[in-house]
Every structure is written in structure tokens, then in C-alpha cells.
Structure 1
């Protein structure tokens, strides 16, 4: 058996009420013992049910974005005069805290990270775990493919439409990135939205309705063209025909395509993520 690598890990905790001191673990930072901060890796949970139970008003978009921020600080940390994890503790709000380091022995970093997430972060699951469906399943698949391509941490998440439309617009776009030089006039921004067509098509209609205002706003604010992509489930044909479900599905797709929204299915995600990898030069 190959020698195990001595490592140390830190747990990232969400503390909604510092007076009560109650917390839930939301992520792990792992690095070889004694290594530079730049050698560390960070992963956050993909199941925010514990956070929602503790704090129904928690801003999950901010917490998800924090993973990318910590990864970037760790990547640049070797040049800091102050240890990067101490810096994070000093600069993060009290609602997000970092534990004392703990030791572990790892066969490899990837396997150890998965083990630590299962042990300390992810909720326990029963044998009859309910599978994600609808929009939640699409969002999970999007994240998996972008992570596999190594670009998830470089993308914006939960992008507020109100930045580009008008104050009060509640829509959030799941993720996006600038495809070429930041700030360059006429550059391209790609945004991706999970849209489930298995139930009703209101989400598709709402996305289509917002598309012209989003494009105008991105051109005005970012000086860039906007390409919108809707990620949907593949059309499932049932044994009894289910003509009504098929008609709803096609109506949703056509409503978005009329507003020049590119519609792709889950089977296209690997290709979409590979394009992102190339454009972000990963």
C-alpha cells in the first residue's frame, strides 16, 4: 500500500447567531501538512438543507460564491505575508467561521476531500433518499459539469437580473461568465438558467419575457453582448402518449427560442462546459 500523505484540514462553518453559537459545517479546506496556502483545495456542500433549517433567510447565493472567493485567496495566498487562513478569519463576517486545523492521513487529496465532506459536511441520507427532480436536478447537473471542466469557481452565480432590468426584479440567473477580455467593448457574456419543463411552463415564459430587458441592460452596464442559454430536461415520451405534456414542453421551448434564448438539454452540458473551459483558458 502506498504511503499516506499527512494533511491538515479546516472546517468552514455557518453561524447564523453568534450569541447562541450554533453552527453547521458548509465546507472543507484541505492541504498537505506544512504546505503553502496555494496548495490547498476548498469544497463546499451542494445540499443547503441544513443551512435553510437553521436560517430560512440565509443568502445561499452569497454562501455559494464564497467558495470561489476562498479558492482564489488560497491560490494567491503564498504571496501574503500573513497566513491566508488567518486573513480569512479576520475578513469574513462572523457568520462564517473557520475551525482550528485537524490532522488526517490521505491516500490522495481528491479521495480525502470526498471522505471529509461525507464525515463532516453533507447531511446523512437514508436508504430511500429522494432523488432530485425538476429544476433542482438541472441545477445540480449544471454545477457538476462546470466543476468537472474546472470553471465553476470562475463563474458568477445567482446573478441578480435587477442589475440589468429594474429595481425589484426578483429573478436570479443561475450562473454566467464573460467569454473574452473583461471590459472590452463588444465582448460576450454567457448566462445559463435551469428551466424545468416537466411541470408547468411559467418559468420558461418568465425567462423569455425577461430576455430583451436583460440583453439591453447587459449592453448598457457591461458594454457586452449577452447570450442566454436555458438548460432543460430532455423530452420524455410516456407510454400513454401524454400529448398535453408534450405540447407544454414544446410551447416552453418555442417561447424561449422566439426570444433568441438558446435551449440545450442535459445531454449537451458536457459540450457547454468544454466551451467554457476553452473560453476561460483553464
Structure 2
């Protein structure tokens, strides 16, 4: 039997009222004992218990916290400050971290899933409620990118205002930047400039074509500004991809629903947005793994 790995874990808790000190566990921070650089963090995808305790909870802010913590860990902030101090400074005032506890793990990844099941994820009824629409697409994206080992390397909830104009409320689900092979090899670009100064940004955004097509139209309206902004800010080309449900899962035998679905796809493609379905995600994630050289 392989030797187990000594680990230390901390629970992240949402505490809306410090006086009452009532809380809900929302995530886990896990690391190998004595190895700060192995620290991993994962937050729940189901905010139903948080909303039950605090209907006004800013779950979008809580979701973005995972990416912020992972970025600080990945960028090596622990080298200049004690890791726990750094992470505590990153937490919002409504989130607290428990005292550390010990664990023996077969692997860090497997232990993370076990701790999430034990302490964070709500107990499911035998007949689980079907997740549909944008939430189902976002969950599918995250699962495939995690399986490919690239989720922690990607930016999440990217503010469109970084590339369009101040006040733009759109936040794009996830993305990454990479250098195409020709750039890594130092080949000149088509304009004769230095290709080493350029790269490619891929951004993925979940768009449900089940029912209202407003999200498809918003993304299409924003595409040209996003493309110009990425060129200006990142000195890179933009590949903007909308991830949608497969046609059959949305429309069935409903011809009107099929017409709406095709309208949404064509609207985005006319704006030079690449449209991929949930069934394409394994291939998309594998491409990301190669481009990020994982």
C-alpha cells in the first residue's frame, strides 16, 4: 500500500453576522504538511445554503474569491509573507478561515474532493434537482477544464470593462493567454514585426440558448469592442468562444425552439464568435492543456 501524504486543511466559512457567529462552510484550503507551495483552494458551486442564511449574499463576489486566492498562491506571494496571513488578507470581511486540521491523504486531489463532500457540499436528496441553462454549461466548462488540469491556470469572471469601457457590467466566465508556436519559435508576424510581442487570448463564456436569447445578443454586441480592446491592452489576438447546449437538448421536437436556437448561433457567428457545444468541451480542454503546456 502506498504511503499516505500528511496534509493540513482549513475550512472557508461564510459568516454574514459576526455577532451571531452563524456560518456556512463554502470551501476548503488544503496543502501538504510543511509545503506551502502545494496549497490548493476550492469553493462550492452550490450557493443555496448561503442564500438560505443570507438572501442578499453577493455570491458573484464569493465565486471570484477562489480565483483570487489561487492566483496569489500560484504567483508565490507566500514567499514574502506567511501563507496564512496572505490568504487571510485576501478574504472578504464575510468570510473566515477555520483553524488547521491534520489529514492523511492518498493524493491531494482525492483528499480535496473527500473534504468537499464531508464539510461543504449539501446533502443531496435521492432525486436531485436538474441543473439547466447557463448554470449547467458553466459547471460543464469547469469540470472539463479541471479534468485537463488547466482550470487553476485560467482567469475567471474576466471584467469586459478592462477591454471595452468603464461601466461595462459584462463578466466573461474564463480564459487564458498563450503564445502560438510561431511566436515561441521567434517567427516574424505578417506585418514584419516581432512576433514575440504578440500572442493569443482565448475567452470562453457560457450562453444558454434555452429560452431568452438576450445573452447571445449581448455577447455579439460586445465582440468587436472586446477584440479591439484585447489587441490594444494585451497586444494579442482574441479568440472569443460561446459555449452552448447541443441543439437536441434544448429543442427536442419543438420547431420554434429550434428556430430560436439557430438564430442565437447565427447571431454570434456573424459577430465572429466561435460557437462550441457542451459535447465539444473535452476537445477544447485538451487544446487548452497543450497550449498551456500542462
**Matching residue of 1:200:** 212
Is the 1:39–1:75 contact (alpha carbons within 8 Å) kept by the matching residues of 2? no
Residues 200 and 278 of structure 1, relative CA distance in 2, 3 Å threshold: same
**Matching residue of 2:191:** none
**Matching residue of 2:105:** 106
String of CA shifts for 1:3-61, please: whole Å, max 9, x gaps. 654433111122333344332222112234x4311233322212122333444454444
Give the stretch that moved more between structures: 197-206 or 260-269: 197-206
**Matching residue of 1:63:** 62
> What secondary structure sits across from 1:273 in the alignment?
helix
**Matching residue of 2:28:** 28
Residues 107 and 223 of structure 1, relative CA distance in 2, 3 Å threshold: closer
Q: How does 1:1-282 map to 2 (within 5 A)?
A: 4-32=4-32, 34-74=33-73, 80=79, 83-90=82-89, 92-180=91-179, 185-236=197-248, 241-282=253-294
**How far has the Cα of 1:161 moved from its partner?**
1.8
> What secondary structure sits across from 1:126 in the alignment?
coil
Q: Please list every run of 5 or more consecutive structure 2 residues that lacks an aligned counterpart in the other structure.
A: 184-195
C-alpha separation in 1, matches of 2:273 and 2:243: 10
C-alpha separation in 2, matches of 1:73 and 1:209: 33
C-alpha separation in 1, matches of 2:108 and 2:39: 9
String of CA shifts for 1:189-221, please: whole Å, max 9, x gaps. 111111111223222122112111221222223
Q: Please list every run of 5 or more consecutive structure 1 residues that lacks an aligned counterpart in the other structure.
A: none
Cα RMSD of the aligned pairs, angstroms, is 2.8
Residues 262 and 11 of structure 1, relative CA distance in 2, 3 Å threshold: same
**How far has the Cα of 1:168 moved from its partner?**
2.9
C-alpha separation in 1, matches of 2:120 and 2:171: 26
C-alpha separation in 1, matches of 2:214 and 2:93: 39
Is the 2:209–2:250 contact (alpha carbons within 8 Å) kept by the matching residues of 1? no
Equivalent pairs, count: 280
Is the 1:233–1:265 contact (alpha carbons within 8 Å) kept by the matching residues of 2? yes
Is the 2:36–2:78 contact (alpha carbons within 8 Å) kept by the matching residues of 1? no
> What secondary structure sits across from 1:25 in the alignment?
strand
**How far has the Cα of 1:91 moved from its partner?**
5.1
C-alpha separation in 1, matches of 2:102 and 2:56: 34
**How far has the Cα of 1:78 moved from its partner?**
10
Give the stretch that moved more between structures: 69-78 or 128-137: 69-78
**How far has the Cα of 1:131 moved from its partner?**
1.6
**How far has the Cα of 1:115 moved from its partner?**
1.8
**Matching residue of 2:193:** none
> What secondary structure sits across from 2:24 in the alignment?
strand
> What secondary structure sits across from 1:16 in the alignment?
coil
C-alpha separation in 2, matches of 1:185 and 1:6: 44
